[in-house]
Structure 1
Amino acid sequence: MSDSILKISERDFERLRGFIYQACGINLSKQKKVLVESRLQKRLVAHAMSSFSTYCDYVMNSMEGQAEIVHLIDSVATNKTDFFREPGHFEFLEREALPSFSRLRMPRPFKVWSSACSTGEEPYTLAMVLEEFYNSNPSFEYRIVASDISTKVLEKAVKGVYDERTITGIPMSLRKRYLLRSKNQENPTIRIAPGLRSKVAFKRINLTDSVLEVEPDFDAVFCRNVLIYFDRQTQEQVVRKLLSKLRLGGYLFIGHSESIYHMQLPVKQLRPTVFQRV
């Protein structure tokens, strides 16, 4: 196989579009053809394949290709995130959701699920917020589950190592308490402190699976900036499954570019992108 860029035909692109939609609900537009073509080059090289047609047949029509589906989804999934992204959500947690939970005096930890956690910035932000609340409320306990469809980003999330340039959104007081700096001056990185990393349990979950392998009765579920990749029908199916894992009175957080208006859901809106299960 040569080092030149292999081209994907319209037919094979449509085959992949349909297969990816069935596998994980991601609705790739026709404008994503070049992106798919470029991102899958390494997968063709890995299997010494000389055409996208061969790759499609391998993934879709062979038993051996079943294991490749995870790598296919890893390659095309978009994973853009930041620490304290959409900070109003974390302020709502700190000022309203957590004090409300404490007043209930429930005999269990506050449970939150970061359902599309990408490389880990969201669940580690949640861990900082919850740990700060614990420091002021010693009887408070919490648990964080973080999931994503991509094994590649989950590996990075578990390590908790980030480029130093990514921490600009983290307040200085929290940086001092929860981040460790590398000694590499040429390529400075930070790592989430072990105590905070231990508070987050990571697992792979495909939100479009018929059954979500995660416990019920979460107090808060974050599903931000992932619904935009689904069509309307899939969005509603995913949100209904998320709500089934949320306790009555629990909170659902979605991204500011997303909407669940006109869906018949058991929620009331508290903020533009904050909903409570009723």
Structure 2
Amino acid sequence: MSSPQSQSIFTMPVLVEVGQHDFERSARVLRARAGIVIGNHKHEMAARTLGMRAKALGMGSAKQYLDHLEQNPHSPEWEAFVNAFTINHTAFFREQHHFDILAKFAKSRKKPFSVWCAASSTGEEPYTIAMALRESCPQPDVGVSILATDIDTRAVERAQEGVYSLERVQPIPEGYLKKYFQRGMGRHVGMVRAKSAIRDMIGFQTFNLLSSNWPTDQKFDAIFCRNTMIYFDKPTQTRILERFASMLKPGGLLFAGHSENFTYLTTAFRLQGQTVYELA
């Protein structure tokens, strides 16, 4: 058996051979298509992904698979390729202070009041936004709306269903859980589903933040894009931030992730505090 130094493929078992050149090429392809930057520490994950996707299409090598993608820009396989590299780490009421700020902000704004959740993942974040707005806005059924988008088609489908395990909904206050979720019966025991009171407030769409055609011409009072910009390079982050600015109403808010700092990237926003930015 050859030593690790002499091996031309990754040590993580894969279904087809994946070499260093394949990894570097896949990183370039992913970045060009979705803006997602993957570092060298993602070697094994990329190898596993390329191997599985190539095998699923009956191909014998990662090179053949990547050739297929680049030669067929409209192939449905692009969706599976991008989905495989997205990370859906989210939770209900994650960074609680953001929802407290949103609730207070909503009370000070005129209707219609709208929020864009620009990286909605499997739905925990937009449903939390919906609960916060229902609690803070009089007559939330009138003039209050949420657009929730994500690049991962599977995540959007799960979000639309609004079904979660009891473990996933543990961060939700008990009163909110009883008010806004219905417990499953029979084969659905151990699961809950968001009630129409919050589901009907949200419109879900699949959307790539690098797309030249943004999902709507609507202006928003607030945009949530948390823990997503870290996957883009600095020029891409700046470009997206400036487009966010163009989609906010005067005085609108941008909510960022706890590890994200945009103050040095653009003058379109000023830091309000606690990773909340106001349109300048």
Q: TM-score, normalised by structure 1?
A: 0.91
Q: 1:46 to 1:5 in 2, by over 3 A?
A: closer
Aligned counterparts of 2:25 and 2:45: Cα–Cα separation in 1: 15
- Give 1:276's aligned amino acid: E
- In structure 2, what is the equivalent of residue 123 of structure 1? 126
The reply on whether 1:12 has 2:22 as its aligned counterpart is yes
Aligned counterparts of 2:174 and 2:154: Cα–Cα separation in 1: 29
- The DSSP-based 3-state class of the residue aligned with 1:167 is coil
- The DSSP-based 3-state class of the residue aligned with 1:112 is strand
Deviates more, 1:228-237 or 1:209-218: 209-218
How far off its partner does 1:4 sit? 6.1
The reply on whether 1:79 has 2:88 as its aligned counterpart is yes
For structure 2, list consecutive stretches of 5 or more residues without a partner in the other structure. 1-12
The reply on whether 1:110 has 2:113 as its aligned counterpart is yes
Aligned counterparts of 1:219 and 1:200: Cα–Cα separation in 2: 15
What's the RMSD between the two structures over aligned residues?
1.9
Deviations 1:8-59 (A, max 9, x none): 1111111110010011110000111111122344422321112111101111
Deviates more, 1:37-46 or 1:214-223: 37-46
- The DSSP-based 3-state class of the residue aligned with 2:92 is coil
Listed as ranges, the matches of 1:183-222 within 5 Å are: 183-184=185-186, 188-222=190-224
- The DSSP-based 3-state class of the residue aligned with 1:129 is helix
- The DSSP-based 3-state class of the residue aligned with 1:144 is strand
Listed as ranges, the matches of 1:170-185 within 5 Å are: 170-184=172-186
- The DSSP-based 3-state class of the residue aligned with 1:191 is strand
Q: TM-score, normalised by structure 2?
A: 0.90
- In structure 2, what is the equivalent of residue 224 of structure 1? 226
Is the CA contact 1:212–1:241 (under 8 Å) kept in the aligned structure 2?
no
Aligned counterparts of 1:235 and 1:273: Cα–Cα separation in 2: 15
Listed as ranges, the matches of 1:29-68 within 5 Å are: 29-62=39-72, 66-68=75-77
The reply on whether 1:248 has 2:258 as its aligned counterpart is no
For structure 1, list consecutive stretches of 5 or more residues without a partner in the other structure. none
- Give 1:100's aligned amino acid: S
Deviates more, 1:7-16 or 1:210-219: 210-219
Aligned counterparts of 1:39 and 1:184: Cα–Cα separation in 2: 36
- In structure 2, what is the equivalent of residue 98 of structure 1? 106
Deviations 1:79-128 (A, max 9, x none): 10000011110011123x11211xxxx3x421000000000000000111
Aligned counterparts of 2:188 and 2:72: Cα–Cα separation in 1: 46
Deviations 1:154-176 (A, max 9, x none): 01011111111011111111001
The reply on whether 1:26 has 2:36 as its aligned counterpart is yes
Aligned counterparts of 2:52 and 2:210: Cα–Cα separation in 1: 26
Aligned counterparts of 2:97 and 2:200: Cα–Cα separation in 1: 25
Aligned counterparts of 1:240 and 1:52: Cα–Cα separation in 2: 37
